[in-house]
Amino acid sequence: MKNKILKLSRDNIQNLTPYQSARSIGGTDGSILLNANESPLPVAFKLKKKIFNRYPECQPYNLILLYSDYINLSCEQILVTRGADEGIELLIKAFCQPRRDAIIYCPPTYDMYRVSAQIADIHIKTIPTIKNTWQLDLPNIQCNLIGVKLIYICNPNNPTGNLILQNDLISLLKMTVGQCLVVIDEAYIEFTPTNTMTNYLSKYSNLVILRTLSKAFALAGIRCGFTLSHPEIINTLKKVISPYPISIPVADIAIQALKTKNIQLMRNRVLSLNNNRTWLIEKLQHIPCVEKVFVSHANYILVKFFMFKKIFDTLWKKGIILRNQNEKNNLNKCIRISIGTHLENILLIKELKIFSEENMF
Ligand SMILES: *Cc1c(COP(=O)(O)O)cnc(C)c1O
């Protein structure tokens, strides 16, 4: 019976390796969660709206207005979505013909580009970034553009933490203009705001930028993101988005988060997390079980360990939950560590020192 039902699903779904979300992998209440790049500190909000009998606005106007102020774009260039993840999916829905078109995917990077393409039965051209610098392999991308509609680039890249060279992004935009869309996922751009590509939206009609309130804004729980692009692309995406994607409570809270005072608080949190990152990197570099610490411009660090598996498991048992990256392209023995509060970072370093003493000498 069970097998028969499984065979009812589409072939590509039967073959799909689903996205492994941090929350599905585990960690219990009371754990130190350094595995999902969330803000380690909550921000308290109160719902202002109290009644919900009516459907929400399809695209909450006041929310878009505030976001347009925040990023200096016009409202026509903005789509609000259920997290940046929905933006990834809508682009595929609107632009890719199943079993004909392709996306370009440059691992090691965010898995959802691959997962969304597989769900939609879109071809995936995998063009890994260059090992250890994690920069784009532009010649290889150029040779593989036939049939490609979307190129997903994460900047700063998750899980490696590096920035993609701006000249490479511009070369890529020029190389593909009129041919395919370059989607730059700026989920972590608040941690390095001068590197945003929003200034290039007016120049390149094939540029799409993804943003989220889940990371620097400390709002992963409300599921709110933005897709930024040319108005005609935004209108095309509006054709495929569900009728009422943003619930009234989500818009209510997102609007509060984008008020001047709260944006300033977000910027202060970013400064503090960036300082914590500098502190953590310095400490990690002096720990014997650490093989390599990669440069990061976001709220997480990629670290290569000696005995990574034993470290991952030992810390897990002590309630410090990290993200294993060992199975990913070119990330042998690597673990991604989200930047926690100063106290959480101290506890992490303490456990890594104990581990080194017990296992390395
Ligand atoms: C966390 C993350 C997202 C998802 O953002 P949501 O708005 O929570 O859906 C998208 N892209 C990258 C690179 C991320 O790390």
Q: Pocket of ligand 1, candidates 67, 153, 160, 212: which has the most ligand atoms within 8 Å of its Cβ, to mutate? A: 212
Residue having the nearest C-alpha atom to atom 5 of ligand 1: 84
For residue 16, pLDDT beyond 80: yes
Residues 151 and 176: beta-carbon distance below 8 Å: yes
Output phi, psi for 8, to 5 deg.
Answer: -70, -25
Ligand 1, atom 11, lies closest to the CA of 187
Span 325-351, pLDDT tens digits = 999 989 999 999 999 999 999 999 999
State the pLDDT at residue 2. Answer: 64
Write the secondary structure of 61-99 as one string of H (helix), E (strand) and C (coil): HHHHHHHHHHHCCCHHHEEEECHHHHHHHHHHHHHCCCC
H-run or E-run covering 300: strand 300-305
Taking the centre of ligand 1 as the mean of its atom positions, its distance from the CA of residue 215, in whole angstroms, is: 8
Question: With 60 as the cut, is the pLDDT of residue 23 above it?
Answer: yes
Tokens representing residue 64 in the block:
């878009």
Residue 20 pLDDT: 84
Q: What percent of the chain has pLDDT over 90?
A: 93
CA of 187 to the centre of ligand 1 (A): 6
Residue from 19, 214, 228 whose mutation best tests the ligand 1 pocket (most atoms within 8 A of CB) = 214
Pairing of strands 181-185, 207-212: parallel
Which residues, other chains included, contact 290 with Cβ-Cβ below 8 Å and sequence gap of 6+? 284, 303, 304, 305, 306, 352
Ligand 1 nearest-atom number relative to CA 86: 9
Query: Ligand 1 centroid to 197 CA: how many Å?
Result: 17
How far away, in angstroms, is 172 Cα from ligand 1 center?
Answer: 22
Distance 131 CA to ligand 1 centre (A): 23
Give me ligand 1 centre to Cα 70, in Å: 19
* Nearest atom (ligand 1) to Cα of 109: 13
Instruction: Give the model confidence (pLDDT) of 274-324 as tens digits.
Output: 999 999 999 999 999 999 999 999 999 999 999 999 999 999 999 999 999
Task: State the chain's mean pLDDT as an integer.
Answer: 96
Q: Whose CA is nearest to atom 6 of ligand 1?
A: 83
Predicted confidence band of residue 4 (pLDDT cuts 50, 70, 90): confident
Find out whether the beta carbon of 155 lies less than 6 Å from any atom of ligand 1. no
pLDDT of residue 5: 83
Q: Is the pLDDT of residue 273 over 90?
A: yes
| 207-212 and 225-229 beta bridge pairing | antiparallel
Closest atom, ligand 1, to C-alpha of 88: 10
Nearest alpha carbon to residue 233 among 87, 63, 122, 110: 87
Q: What are the sequence ranges of the domains in the chain?
A: 25-40+262-358, 61-259
CATH code of the domain made up of 61-259: 3.40.640.10
Spatial strand order of the sheet with 225-229 comes to 78-81, 225-229, 207-212, 181-185, 148-154, 102-105, 123-126
Q: Is the CB of 158 under 6 A from ligand 1?
A: yes
Does 204 score more than 80 pLDDT?
yes
Q: Answer yes or no: same fold for 25-40+262-358 and 61-259.
A: no
Q: How many angstroms does the Cα of residue 20 sit away from the middle of ligand 1?
A: 13
Residue to mutate (ligand 1; options 82, 91, 215; most atoms within 8 A of CB) = 215
Residues 6+ apart with CB under 8 A from 161: 294, 295, 296, 297, 298, 300, 301, 302
Q: Which of 176, 151, 177 is nearest to 164 (CA)?
A: 151
Using a 6 Å cutoff on CB, does residue 204 contact ligand 1? no
Tell me the per-residue pLDDT of 128-144, one tens digit each, with 9 for 90 and over.
Answer: 999 999 999 999 999 99
The predicted pLDDT at position 344 comes to 97
The per-residue pLDDT for 162 is 98
> Is beta strand 181-185 parallel, antiparallel or unpaired with respect to 300-305?
unpaired
The pLDDT score that the predictor gives to residue 6 is 82
Whether the CB of 110 sits within 6 Å of ligand 1: yes
Type of residue at 91: L
Q: How many residues does the chain have?
A: 361
Crossing angle between the packed helical segments 342-360 and 308-317, to the nearest 10 degrees = 130
Residue range 25-40+262-358, CATH number: 3.90.1150.10
> Among 172, 225, 166, which residue's Cα sits nearest to residue 196?
166
Express each pLDDT in 139-193 by its tens digit. Answer: 999 999 999 999 999 999 999 999 999 999 999 999 999 999 999 999 999 999 9
Q: Is the CB of 185 under 6 A from ligand 1?
A: yes
Bridge partners, 303 (sequence order): 293, 335
Task: Mean pLDDT check: name the lowest of 1-10, 227-236, 268-277.
Answer: 1-10
Per-residue model confidence (pLDDT) at position 25: 78
Q: 60 has which bridge partners? A: none
Lowest mean pLDDT among 18-27, 41-50, 66-75, 87-96: 18-27
CA of 185 from ligand 1 middle (Å) equals: 8
Give the atom of ligand 1 at the shortest distance from the alpha carbon of 157. Answer: 13
Find out whether the beta carbon of 183 lies less than 6 Å from any atom of ligand 1: no
Residue 13 pLDDT grade (very low, low, confident, very high; cuts 50, 70, 90): very high
The pLDDT value recorded for residue 1 is 56
Check if 218 has its Cβ closer than 6 Å to any atom of ligand 1. Answer: no
